[in-house]
A and B are shown apart, each in its own frame.
Chain A
Amino acid sequence: MRELVLTQPGRALEEEMVRETERSGSRREFEVRLHECGPVAYRVAQGVLRNRADAEDVAQEALLRAYRKFDRLRDPTRFRAWLVRIVFRLALDRLRSRKRRESRETTWALPERRPAPPTAEDLASSTELRARLERAMDELPEKLRLVLLLTAMQGYTLEEVSGMLGIPMGTVKSRLFFARKQLAEKLR
């Protein structure tokens, strides 16, 4: 005759179930945030990097990092600001490493393989204007650049940018003013 042993789920198992429930709740909440803030992450990265593949990689990395530390975020309403800072920092890191790589390659490249200087027609075209604008943005201080990007994004007011970056409205306005002025001087 075989003995039937009834076992109760142990305390560890209960705790594991609680953790699993919390994890799934946290994941659901994160997915809502992901839907809301994923595009911002990509656009900030693209604004800095101006390379779709790189921007997508960086946005993805930032979103995954945010997810891994999502439980530690005390105020979920600050998620967007938190994510923007992560993605901006990662994008700047990527940009710097790309520039270092390009600098090495340019140093060693043969003269005939270097890009030809722009012609008058190029300068006249809007593509060239955009390229110049992008170069000018690269030269802006980081704080000015981020404010410029966020305020240029559709759907964000100055108040929202101020809340997102945790800085006063006056600071947003002054950074925007100096950023535009510097850009205009560089493009003139």
Chain B
Amino acid sequence: MNCQQSQKGILDALAAGEAKLPGAVAAHQQDCAACQAYFESQARLFRQLEEGLTAIANEEVPASLLPRVRARLDEKPPQRYSWMPGWGLAAIAAVILGVSLGFVLHQPKHHAVLPENVSMAARGAENPVPGVRPPRKVVTPSLNHGHEHRRAFLAAANGSETVPEVIVLPEEQAAFAKFVRQLREQQEVILAVAHAAPANDDLPAEIASLEIEGLEMKPLDPGWE
């Protein structure tokens, strides 16, 4: 064991509060005056440390402590500090809710102006194709407003000021541009497509009974199979 190892062993033993040094350290110390001196100085330091700690940890308790605590046992606990009363929080919550609702209700609906076969999604707006204007106004089509819808569409076809605008997907932009170019020539077709179907279109058609000259038609006997 060299002096460095011995001194480390001395420190560890003192820090652990060991009564005796480990055998090897003690053996080295008997033959090494430097380590013996080191042990004495460190033992003195640890002794002072213990004395200081004992003094710090065992301060005399003031006689007034317990009577003061007893005197305050019946006191009501202090109210917790609240930076805002309950109604204030409720008011803030109501305002936030109102603003959120208003925002949601006034969100523009992302529906296309055109019939379903040309309806577009919002992502195509970033790279407009020449001839297709960037989205500025979105018109919501409605079955109940078929005439308005048609007027808007006609106006668009005629190039008036109220041009309806649509949002076009990038992959559909070329086809859409072509469609717009042909719009002026095929107004009737587009109007037919854009026209809302009447409400009774899906009703079953009434079929007239079959009549063939010279042939008598009899209903099938329900009892005959």
Enumerate chain A interface residues (CB-CB to B < 8 A): 27, 30-31, 34-35, 38-39, 42-43, 46-47, 50, 52, 55-56, 59-60, 63-64, 67-68, 129-130, 133-134, 137, 148-150, 152-154, 173, 176-178, 180-181, 183-184, 187-188
> Is A187 within 8 A of B59, CB to CB?
no
Complex Cα distance, B48 from A31, in Å, reads 37
> Is A187 within 8 A of B45, CB to CB?
yes
The 3 tightest CB contacts between A and B, nearest first, are: A152-B57, A152-B53, A181-B15
Contacts of A52 in B (CB 8 A): 59, 62
Contacts of B36 in A (CB 8 A): none
> Is B57 within 8 A of A130, CB to CB?
no
Q: Whole-angstrom distance from the CB of A148 to the nearest CB of chain B?
A: 6
15 contacts between A and B (CB under 8 A): A34-B66, A42-B59, A56-B65, A60-B69, A64-B75, A129-B48, A130-B52, A133-B56, A148-B53, A149-B57, A152-B57, A154-B58, A173-B16, A177-B16, A180-B16
Return the chain A residue nearest B74 by Cβ.
Answer: A27
Return the chain B residue nearest A155 by Cβ.
Answer: B58
- CB-contacts of B1-54 with A (<8 A): 11-12, 14-17, 42, 45-46, 48-50, 52-54
Interface residues of B, dominant DSSP: helix
Interface residues of B toward A: which range? Answer: 20 to 34
> Is A38 within 8 A of B72, CB to CB?
no
Q: Whole-angstrom distance from the CB of B42 to the nearest CB of chain A?
A: 7
> Is B65 within 8 A of A154, CB to CB?
no
Q: Residue among B16, B46, B52, B64 with the most chain A CB within 10 A? A: B52
